[in-house]
Structure 1
Amino acid sequence: MERSVEARVSHEVDNWLRWLPRWRPGTYRSRARLCHQCFGSPVIAAAGLNEDVPHAVQHALAMRMKVVVDASVHEYTEQHLPLLARELRLDEARRARRLYRPNEGLDPEHRGLDLDPPTAPEAPYLFTLGELAELPDAEGADPEPEPEPPPQPLSAEEKAAVLGEVAIADRFAAEAGRRLCAELALHRQRIRAAVAEFVEPQVQALLADLESTLDSPLWRRGS
Protein backbone atom coordinates (compact mmCIF):
# COMPACT_ATOMS: atom_id res chain seq x y z
CA MET A 1 0.00 0.00 0.00
CA GLU A 2 2.87 2.39 0.78
CA ARG A 3 4.26 2.46 -2.76
CA SER A 4 0.76 2.85 -4.20
CA VAL A 5 -0.12 5.76 -1.91
CA GLU A 6 3.27 7.37 -2.47
CA ALA A 7 2.94 7.28 -6.25
CA ARG A 8 -0.65 8.51 -6.21
CA VAL A 9 0.07 11.37 -3.81
CA SER A 10 2.96 12.57 -5.96
CA HIS A 11 0.80 12.34 -9.09
CA GLU A 12 -2.10 14.29 -7.59
CA VAL A 13 0.18 16.95 -6.12
CA ASP A 14 1.64 17.40 -9.61
CA ASN A 15 -1.88 17.80 -10.99
CA TRP A 16 -2.74 20.35 -8.28
CA LEU A 17 0.43 22.31 -9.03
CA ARG A 18 -0.53 22.45 -12.71
CA TRP A 19 -4.00 23.71 -11.76
CA LEU A 20 -2.88 26.31 -9.22
CA PRO A 21 -1.65 28.98 -11.71
CA ARG A 22 -5.19 29.08 -13.15
CA TRP A 23 -6.76 29.92 -9.79
CA ARG A 24 -8.31 33.37 -9.55
CA PRO A 25 -10.05 34.73 -6.43
CA GLY A 26 -12.89 36.27 -8.44
CA THR A 27 -13.95 32.95 -9.96
CA TYR A 28 -15.00 31.36 -6.66
CA ARG A 29 -17.96 32.43 -4.54
CA SER A 30 -17.82 32.42 -0.78
CA ARG A 31 -19.39 29.58 1.20
CA ALA A 32 -22.30 30.07 3.58
CA ARG A 33 -21.06 27.33 5.92
CA LEU A 34 -17.85 25.52 6.83
CA CYS A 35 -16.47 22.90 4.46
CA HIS A 36 -16.22 19.68 6.46
CA GLN A 37 -13.73 18.32 3.94
CA CYS A 38 -11.21 21.09 4.70
CA PHE A 39 -11.95 22.56 8.13
CA GLY A 40 -9.64 20.90 10.67
CA SER A 41 -8.43 18.41 8.04
CA PRO A 42 -5.16 16.59 8.82
CA VAL A 43 -4.56 16.50 5.08
CA ILE A 44 -4.59 20.30 4.88
CA ALA A 45 -2.29 20.49 7.91
CA ALA A 46 0.12 17.93 6.40
CA ALA A 47 0.32 20.02 3.23
CA GLY A 48 1.01 23.19 5.22
CA LEU A 49 -2.13 24.91 3.93
CA ASN A 50 -4.01 25.28 7.21
CA GLU A 51 -3.20 28.97 7.72
CA ASP A 52 -3.74 32.04 5.53
CA VAL A 53 -4.70 30.08 2.39
CA PRO A 54 -7.99 30.62 0.52
CA HIS A 55 -10.49 27.81 0.88
CA ALA A 56 -10.67 27.13 -2.87
CA VAL A 57 -6.93 26.39 -2.89
CA GLN A 58 -7.25 24.08 0.12
CA HIS A 59 -10.33 22.35 -1.27
CA ALA A 60 -8.72 21.55 -4.61
CA LEU A 61 -5.88 19.68 -2.91
CA ALA A 62 -8.11 18.02 -0.29
CA MET A 63 -10.40 16.55 -2.96
CA ARG A 64 -7.44 15.23 -4.94
CA MET A 65 -6.16 13.52 -1.81
CA LYS A 66 -9.63 12.08 -1.23
CA VAL A 67 -9.39 10.53 -4.69
CA VAL A 68 -6.18 8.78 -3.56
CA VAL A 69 -7.77 7.31 -0.43
CA ASP A 70 -10.97 6.34 -2.24
CA ALA A 71 -9.00 4.50 -4.94
CA SER A 72 -6.95 2.59 -2.36
CA VAL A 73 -10.05 1.60 -0.39
CA HIS A 74 -11.88 0.56 -3.57
CA GLU A 75 -9.04 -1.70 -4.66
CA TYR A 76 -8.74 -3.26 -1.20
CA THR A 77 -12.50 -3.81 -1.03
CA GLU A 78 -12.62 -5.50 -4.44
CA GLN A 79 -9.73 -7.80 -3.52
CA HIS A 80 -10.52 -8.70 0.10
CA LEU A 81 -14.12 -7.78 0.99
CA PRO A 82 -16.46 -9.56 -1.47
CA LEU A 83 -19.74 -8.98 0.37
CA LEU A 84 -19.17 -5.25 0.74
CA ALA A 85 -17.95 -5.01 -2.86
CA ARG A 86 -21.17 -6.65 -4.05
CA GLU A 87 -23.34 -4.23 -2.07
CA LEU A 88 -21.41 -1.26 -3.44
CA ARG A 89 -21.81 -2.49 -7.02
CA LEU A 90 -25.56 -2.83 -6.49
CA ASP A 91 -25.68 0.72 -5.14
CA GLU A 92 -23.72 2.02 -8.11
CA ALA A 93 -26.13 0.28 -10.50
CA ARG A 94 -29.07 1.93 -8.72
CA ARG A 95 -27.44 5.35 -8.97
CA ALA A 96 -26.63 4.82 -12.65
CA ARG A 97 -30.34 4.59 -13.46
CA ARG A 98 -30.83 8.25 -12.61
CA LEU A 99 -30.87 10.41 -15.73
CA TYR A 100 -29.40 13.58 -14.25
CA ARG A 101 -26.39 13.58 -11.90
CA PRO A 102 -24.96 17.15 -11.72
CA ASN A 103 -22.52 16.34 -8.93
CA GLU A 104 -20.76 13.58 -10.89
CA GLY A 105 -18.04 13.95 -13.48
CA LEU A 106 -16.64 17.15 -11.94
CA ASP A 107 -12.96 17.96 -11.71
CA PRO A 108 -11.58 17.19 -8.23
CA GLU A 109 -11.24 20.86 -7.31
CA HIS A 110 -15.02 21.30 -7.70
CA ARG A 111 -16.19 18.13 -5.94
CA GLY A 112 -17.83 18.57 -2.58
CA LEU A 113 -18.91 22.15 -3.27
CA ASP A 114 -22.54 23.22 -3.08
CA LEU A 115 -24.44 22.51 -6.28
CA ASP A 116 -26.45 25.71 -6.17
CA PRO A 117 -25.26 29.26 -5.47
CA PRO A 118 -27.27 31.48 -3.13
CA THR A 119 -30.29 32.93 -4.90
CA ALA A 120 -30.45 36.66 -5.44
CA PRO A 121 -33.62 38.27 -3.99
CA GLU A 122 -34.51 39.91 -7.31
CA ALA A 123 -33.83 36.83 -9.44
CA PRO A 124 -36.82 34.82 -10.73
CA TYR A 125 -37.12 31.35 -9.26
CA LEU A 126 -36.85 28.54 -11.79
CA PHE A 127 -35.23 25.44 -10.30
CA THR A 128 -32.01 24.29 -8.68
CA LEU A 129 -29.54 21.66 -9.79
CA GLY A 130 -30.23 19.73 -6.61
CA GLU A 131 -33.94 19.60 -7.42
CA LEU A 132 -33.22 18.44 -10.97
CA ALA A 133 -31.06 15.62 -9.63
CA GLU A 134 -33.99 14.38 -7.53
CA LEU A 135 -36.47 14.21 -10.41
CA PRO A 136 -37.64 10.72 -11.46
CA ASP A 137 -36.60 9.29 -14.79
CA ALA A 138 -38.30 11.09 -17.64
CA GLU A 139 -40.95 9.27 -19.66
CA GLY A 140 -40.02 8.60 -23.24
CA ALA A 141 -36.33 8.12 -22.52
CA ASP A 142 -34.38 5.51 -24.42
CA PRO A 143 -35.38 2.05 -23.24
CA GLU A 144 -32.95 0.42 -20.85
CA PRO A 145 -31.80 -3.19 -21.07
CA GLU A 146 -33.94 -5.76 -19.37
CA PRO A 147 -33.33 -5.22 -15.65
CA GLU A 148 -31.79 -7.96 -13.60
CA PRO A 149 -34.00 -9.57 -10.96
CA PRO A 150 -33.87 -7.68 -7.67
CA PRO A 151 -31.34 -9.01 -5.18
CA GLN A 152 -32.61 -11.15 -2.37
CA PRO A 153 -32.74 -9.51 1.07
CA LEU A 154 -29.71 -10.22 3.21
CA SER A 155 -30.08 -12.64 6.04
CA ALA A 156 -29.12 -11.63 9.56
CA GLU A 157 -25.82 -13.48 9.20
CA GLU A 158 -25.07 -11.76 5.89
CA LYS A 159 -25.89 -8.35 7.34
CA ALA A 160 -23.53 -9.00 10.21
CA ALA A 161 -20.83 -10.12 7.76
CA VAL A 162 -21.26 -6.97 5.65
CA LEU A 163 -21.04 -4.77 8.74
CA GLY A 164 -17.87 -6.59 9.71
CA GLU A 165 -16.39 -5.88 6.29
CA VAL A 166 -17.44 -2.23 6.57
CA ALA A 167 -15.47 -1.99 9.83
CA ILE A 168 -12.44 -3.53 8.11
CA ALA A 169 -12.75 -1.06 5.23
CA ASP A 170 -12.98 1.84 7.70
CA ARG A 171 -9.78 0.73 9.43
CA PHE A 172 -8.02 0.39 6.09
CA ALA A 173 -9.20 3.86 5.05
CA ALA A 174 -7.86 5.35 8.29
CA GLU A 175 -4.50 3.69 7.73
CA ALA A 176 -4.44 4.87 4.12
CA GLY A 177 -5.18 8.39 5.34
CA ARG A 178 -2.29 8.29 7.79
CA ARG A 179 0.08 7.06 5.10
CA LEU A 180 -1.19 9.76 2.75
CA CYS A 181 -0.53 12.52 5.30
CA ALA A 182 2.99 11.23 5.87
CA GLU A 183 3.69 11.22 2.13
CA LEU A 184 2.01 14.57 1.57
CA ALA A 185 4.23 16.20 4.20
CA LEU A 186 7.22 15.35 1.99
CA HIS A 187 5.75 17.64 -0.70
CA ARG A 188 5.08 20.54 1.69
CA GLN A 189 8.02 22.64 0.53
CA ARG A 190 6.99 22.73 -3.12
CA ILE A 191 3.33 23.19 -2.17
CA ARG A 192 4.17 26.23 -0.07
CA ALA A 193 6.49 27.57 -2.78
CA ALA A 194 3.68 27.37 -5.33
CA VAL A 195 1.27 29.14 -2.95
CA ALA A 196 3.82 31.90 -2.42
CA GLU A 197 4.26 32.30 -6.17
CA PHE A 198 0.69 32.07 -7.45
CA VAL A 199 -1.70 32.69 -4.54
CA GLU A 200 -0.16 35.17 -2.14
CA PRO A 201 0.41 37.93 -4.75
CA GLN A 202 -3.28 37.76 -5.70
CA VAL A 203 -4.37 37.87 -2.05
CA GLN A 204 -2.09 40.84 -1.37
CA ALA A 205 -3.47 42.61 -4.44
CA LEU A 206 -7.02 42.06 -3.18
CA LEU A 207 -6.12 43.42 0.25
CA ALA A 208 -4.44 46.45 -1.28
CA ASP A 209 -7.47 47.12 -3.44
CA LEU A 210 -9.78 46.74 -0.43
CA GLU A 211 -7.67 49.12 1.62
CA SER A 212 -7.74 51.73 -1.13
CA THR A 213 -11.56 51.65 -1.26
CA LEU A 214 -12.14 51.92 2.48
CA ASP A 215 -12.23 55.13 4.42
CA SER A 216 -12.66 55.84 8.12
CA PRO A 217 -12.59 59.02 10.18
CA LEU A 218 -10.48 57.15 12.72
CA TRP A 219 -7.63 56.61 10.28
CA ARG A 220 -4.83 59.10 10.17
CA ARG A 221 -4.77 60.96 6.91
CA GLY A 222 -1.58 61.92 5.19
CA SER A 223 -0.69 65.59 5.08
Structure 2
Amino acid sequence: MERSLETQVSQAVDAWLRWLPRWEPSTHRGRVAPCRRCFGSPILSAAGLGADVPHGVQHGLSTRIKTIVDHAVAEYTALNLPMLQAELDQQAARNRARSYRPAEGLEPEYEGMPLDPEPNPEAPFLFTLAGLAEEADATVPDLPPLTPEAKAALRQEVGLADDYANMIGREVCAILLHHRLRVQAAIGQYVEPQIEAMLEELTRSLDAPFDSREPERGEG
Protein backbone atom coordinates (compact mmCIF):
# COMPACT_ATOMS: atom_id res chain seq x y z
CA MET A 1 0.00 0.00 0.00
CA GLU A 2 1.33 3.42 -0.95
CA ARG A 3 2.14 5.55 2.08
CA SER A 4 0.36 8.87 2.36
CA LEU A 5 2.34 12.08 2.10
CA GLU A 6 1.68 12.74 5.79
CA THR A 7 3.15 9.35 6.72
CA GLN A 8 6.22 9.86 4.55
CA VAL A 9 6.95 13.28 6.06
CA SER A 10 6.43 11.98 9.59
CA GLN A 11 8.80 9.08 8.97
CA ALA A 12 11.40 11.42 7.47
CA VAL A 13 11.25 13.66 10.53
CA ASP A 14 11.48 10.58 12.77
CA ALA A 15 14.61 9.42 10.93
CA TRP A 16 16.16 12.89 11.27
CA LEU A 17 15.38 12.96 14.98
CA ARG A 18 17.09 9.59 15.42
CA TRP A 19 20.18 10.93 13.65
CA LEU A 20 20.33 14.31 15.39
CA PRO A 21 21.91 13.07 18.67
CA ARG A 22 24.95 11.98 16.64
CA TRP A 23 25.48 15.44 15.15
CA GLU A 24 28.61 17.32 16.16
CA PRO A 25 29.73 20.83 15.15
CA SER A 26 32.18 20.97 12.26
CA THR A 27 35.70 22.01 13.13
CA HIS A 28 36.98 22.63 9.59
CA ARG A 29 36.67 25.83 7.57
CA GLY A 30 33.20 26.65 6.35
CA ARG A 31 32.44 26.97 2.66
CA VAL A 32 31.95 30.37 1.09
CA ALA A 33 29.12 29.39 -1.28
CA PRO A 34 25.74 28.74 0.40
CA CYS A 35 24.03 25.37 -0.06
CA ARG A 36 21.50 25.69 -2.87
CA ARG A 37 19.33 23.02 -1.28
CA CYS A 38 19.10 24.70 2.13
CA PHE A 39 19.60 28.43 1.60
CA GLY A 40 16.18 30.11 1.79
CA SER A 41 14.40 26.74 1.74
CA PRO A 42 10.65 26.97 2.49
CA ILE A 43 10.88 23.40 3.78
CA LEU A 44 13.28 24.45 6.53
CA SER A 45 11.17 27.49 7.33
CA ALA A 46 8.09 25.31 7.69
CA ALA A 47 9.99 22.97 10.00
CA GLY A 48 11.15 25.89 12.14
CA LEU A 49 14.84 25.61 11.29
CA GLY A 50 16.05 29.19 10.97
CA ALA A 51 19.32 30.60 9.70
CA ASP A 52 20.80 30.32 13.19
CA VAL A 53 20.69 26.51 13.01
CA PRO A 54 23.96 24.95 11.74
CA HIS A 55 23.87 23.94 8.11
CA GLY A 56 24.68 20.29 8.82
CA VAL A 57 21.54 20.04 10.93
CA GLN A 58 19.44 21.73 8.25
CA HIS A 59 20.84 19.60 5.44
CA GLY A 60 19.96 16.31 7.10
CA LEU A 61 16.28 17.25 7.17
CA SER A 62 16.01 19.10 3.87
CA THR A 63 17.56 16.18 1.99
CA ARG A 64 15.15 13.68 3.51
CA ILE A 65 12.15 15.86 2.62
CA LYS A 66 13.48 16.54 -0.88
CA THR A 67 13.61 12.79 -1.46
CA ILE A 68 9.87 12.62 -0.78
CA VAL A 69 9.16 15.39 -3.28
CA ASP A 70 11.48 13.82 -5.87
CA HIS A 71 9.76 10.44 -5.49
CA ALA A 72 6.31 11.98 -5.98
CA VAL A 73 7.48 13.86 -9.08
CA ALA A 74 9.11 10.70 -10.46
CA GLU A 75 5.81 8.82 -10.14
CA TYR A 76 3.90 11.65 -11.81
CA THR A 77 6.46 11.82 -14.62
CA ALA A 78 6.35 8.07 -15.25
CA LEU A 79 2.55 8.16 -15.57
CA ASN A 80 2.02 11.42 -17.46
CA LEU A 81 5.17 12.73 -19.14
CA PRO A 82 6.54 10.16 -21.62
CA MET A 83 9.13 12.36 -23.33
CA LEU A 84 10.62 13.57 -20.07
CA GLN A 85 10.62 10.02 -18.71
CA ALA A 86 12.47 8.75 -21.78
CA GLU A 87 15.06 11.51 -21.41
CA LEU A 88 15.51 10.68 -17.73
CA ASP A 89 15.87 6.97 -18.53
CA GLN A 90 18.61 7.74 -21.04
CA GLN A 91 20.41 9.98 -18.56
CA ALA A 92 20.15 7.30 -15.86
CA ALA A 93 21.62 4.71 -18.22
CA ARG A 94 24.45 7.12 -19.06
CA ASN A 95 25.14 7.67 -15.36
CA ARG A 96 25.26 3.93 -14.72
CA ALA A 97 27.88 3.60 -17.45
CA ARG A 98 30.29 5.86 -15.58
CA SER A 99 33.08 3.96 -13.88
CA TYR A 100 33.33 6.31 -10.90
CA ARG A 101 30.27 7.75 -9.09
CA PRO A 102 31.40 9.18 -5.73
CA ALA A 103 28.20 11.19 -5.14
CA GLU A 104 25.92 8.13 -5.17
CA GLY A 105 24.85 6.04 -2.21
CA LEU A 106 25.58 8.70 0.40
CA GLU A 107 23.70 9.11 3.66
CA PRO A 108 21.10 11.94 3.62
CA GLU A 109 23.35 14.14 5.74
CA TYR A 110 26.00 14.14 3.00
CA GLU A 111 23.89 13.91 -0.15
CA GLY A 112 24.30 16.98 -2.31
CA MET A 113 27.22 18.28 -0.29
CA PRO A 114 30.48 19.24 -2.05
CA LEU A 115 32.70 16.23 -2.67
CA ASP A 116 35.87 18.10 -1.75
CA PRO A 117 36.81 20.70 0.89
CA GLU A 118 37.48 24.29 -0.07
CA PRO A 119 40.81 24.52 -1.94
CA ASN A 120 43.76 25.95 -0.08
CA PRO A 121 46.11 27.95 -2.35
CA GLU A 122 49.01 27.21 -0.01
CA ALA A 123 48.45 23.46 -0.16
CA PRO A 124 46.92 22.50 -3.54
CA PHE A 125 45.29 19.10 -3.91
CA LEU A 126 47.04 16.39 -5.91
CA PHE A 127 43.59 15.32 -7.08
CA THR A 128 39.94 15.86 -6.16
CA LEU A 129 36.97 13.51 -6.10
CA ALA A 130 35.03 15.92 -8.30
CA GLY A 131 37.88 15.95 -10.80
CA LEU A 132 38.03 12.16 -10.91
CA ALA A 133 34.27 12.04 -11.46
CA GLU A 134 34.56 14.51 -14.35
CA GLU A 135 37.25 12.37 -15.95
CA ALA A 136 35.01 9.31 -15.71
CA ASP A 137 32.08 11.28 -17.14
CA ALA A 138 34.16 12.39 -20.12
CA THR A 139 34.58 8.77 -21.24
CA VAL A 140 30.82 8.20 -21.56
CA PRO A 141 29.22 9.19 -24.91
CA ASP A 142 26.85 12.16 -24.91
CA LEU A 143 23.13 11.64 -25.36
CA PRO A 144 21.85 11.95 -28.93
CA PRO A 145 20.71 15.49 -29.87
CA LEU A 146 17.02 16.37 -29.96
CA THR A 147 15.13 17.97 -32.81
CA PRO A 148 13.72 21.48 -32.25
CA GLU A 149 10.22 19.99 -32.02
CA ALA A 150 11.33 17.45 -29.43
CA LYS A 151 13.06 20.17 -27.41
CA ALA A 152 9.88 22.27 -27.37
CA ALA A 153 7.78 19.30 -26.27
CA LEU A 154 10.33 18.37 -23.64
CA ARG A 155 10.37 21.92 -22.25
CA GLN A 156 6.60 21.77 -21.91
CA GLU A 157 6.76 18.51 -19.97
CA VAL A 158 9.54 19.87 -17.76
CA GLY A 159 7.28 22.81 -16.94
CA LEU A 160 4.49 20.44 -15.96
CA ALA A 161 6.87 18.47 -13.75
CA ASP A 162 8.02 21.71 -12.09
CA ASP A 163 4.43 22.73 -11.42
CA TYR A 164 3.71 19.36 -9.84
CA ALA A 165 6.86 19.58 -7.73
CA ASN A 166 5.79 23.01 -6.46
CA MET A 167 2.37 21.66 -5.55
CA ILE A 168 3.86 18.72 -3.62
CA GLY A 169 6.33 21.06 -1.96
CA ARG A 170 3.51 23.28 -0.68
CA GLU A 171 1.69 20.24 0.71
CA VAL A 172 4.85 19.02 2.41
CA CYS A 173 5.44 22.42 3.98
CA ALA A 174 1.89 22.44 5.35
CA ILE A 175 2.49 18.99 6.89
CA LEU A 176 5.82 20.07 8.38
CA LEU A 177 4.09 22.81 10.33
CA HIS A 178 2.63 20.09 12.56
CA HIS A 179 6.17 18.84 13.38
CA ARG A 180 7.67 22.20 14.36
CA LEU A 181 7.39 21.68 18.11
CA ARG A 182 9.26 18.40 18.22
CA VAL A 183 11.84 19.65 15.72
CA GLN A 184 12.53 22.73 17.82
CA ALA A 185 12.56 20.68 21.03
CA ALA A 186 15.23 18.42 19.54
CA ILE A 187 17.30 21.46 18.51
CA GLY A 188 17.12 22.72 22.07
CA GLN A 189 18.14 19.35 23.47
CA TYR A 190 20.95 18.29 21.12
CA VAL A 191 22.19 21.29 19.12
CA GLU A 192 22.01 24.40 21.26
CA PRO A 193 24.04 22.93 24.18
CA GLN A 194 26.89 22.08 21.79
CA ILE A 195 26.84 25.56 20.27
CA GLU A 196 26.81 27.14 23.73
CA ALA A 197 29.76 24.96 24.78
CA MET A 198 31.72 26.09 21.71
CA LEU A 199 30.99 29.75 22.47
CA GLU A 200 32.06 29.31 26.08
CA GLU A 201 35.31 27.68 24.99
CA LEU A 202 35.93 30.50 22.52
CA THR A 203 35.26 33.09 25.22
CA ARG A 204 37.72 31.41 27.59
CA SER A 205 40.41 31.29 24.91
CA LEU A 206 39.92 34.99 24.11
CA ASP A 207 39.95 36.01 27.77
CA ALA A 208 43.07 33.98 28.52
CA PRO A 209 45.15 33.81 25.33
CA PHE A 210 48.24 32.69 27.26
CA ASP A 211 48.37 29.73 29.59
CA SER A 212 48.95 31.10 33.10
CA ARG A 213 50.77 27.92 33.96
CA GLU A 214 53.64 28.72 31.59
CA PRO A 215 56.76 29.98 33.43
CA GLU A 216 57.71 33.60 32.99
CA ARG A 217 60.90 34.53 31.18
CA GLY A 218 63.97 34.25 33.38
CA GLU A 219 62.50 31.43 35.50
CA GLY A 220 63.88 27.92 35.62
TM-score, normalised to structure 2, is 0.84
Aligned to 1:88: 88
Given that 1:38 and 1:44 are in contact with CA atoms closer than 8 Å, whether structure 2 keeps it comes out as: yes
Pair 1:212–1:152, CA change in 2 (3 A): closer
Given that 1:47 and 1:185 are in contact with CA atoms closer than 8 Å, whether structure 2 keeps it comes out as: yes
Cα deviations across residues 61-120 of structure 1 (Å, max 9, x unaligned)?
111111111011001101111111111000111111111111111111111211111244
1:153 Cα deviation (Å)? 5.1
1-side partners of 2:120 and 2:149: how far apart?
A: 52
Given that 1:102 and 1:133 are in contact with CA atoms closer than 8 Å, whether structure 2 keeps it comes out as: yes
Pair 1:195–1:66, CA change in 2 (3 A): same
| Alignment of 1:212 onto 2:214 | no
Pair 1:6–1:27, CA change in 2 (3 A): farther
Pair 1:17–1:159, CA change in 2 (3 A): same
Aligned to 1:34: 34
2-side partners of 1:34 and 1:134: how far apart?
A: 22
Given that 1:28 and 1:56 are in contact with CA atoms closer than 8 Å, whether structure 2 keeps it comes out as: no
1-side partners of 2:19 and 2:27: how far apart?
A: 14
Q: How many residues are treated as equivalent by the alignment?
A: 205
Aligned to 2:57: 57
Given that 2:31 and 2:118 are in contact with CA atoms closer than 8 Å, whether structure 1 keeps it comes out as: no
2-side partners of 1:173 and 1:194: how far apart?
A: 29
1-side partners of 2:124 and 2:165: how far apart?
A: 44
Aligned AA for 1:183? I
Q: Which moved more, 1:61-70 or 1:29-38?
A: 29-38
Aligned AA for 2:173? C
Match of 2:179 among 173, 179, 187: 187
Task: List gaps (5 residues or longer) in structure 1.
Answer: 140-146, 217-223
2-side partners of 1:90 and 1:24: how far apart?
A: 40
1-side partners of 2:114 and 2:138: how far apart?
A: 25
- For 1:1-223, what aligned pairs fall within 5 Å after superposition? 4-26=4-26, 29-120=29-120, 123=123, 125-136=125-136, 154-215=146-207
Aligned AA for 1:190? R
1:195 Cα deviation (Å)? 0.7
Aligned to 1:220: none
Given that 1:47 and 1:184 are in contact with CA atoms closer than 8 Å, whether structure 2 keeps it comes out as: yes
1:138 Cα deviation (Å)? 11
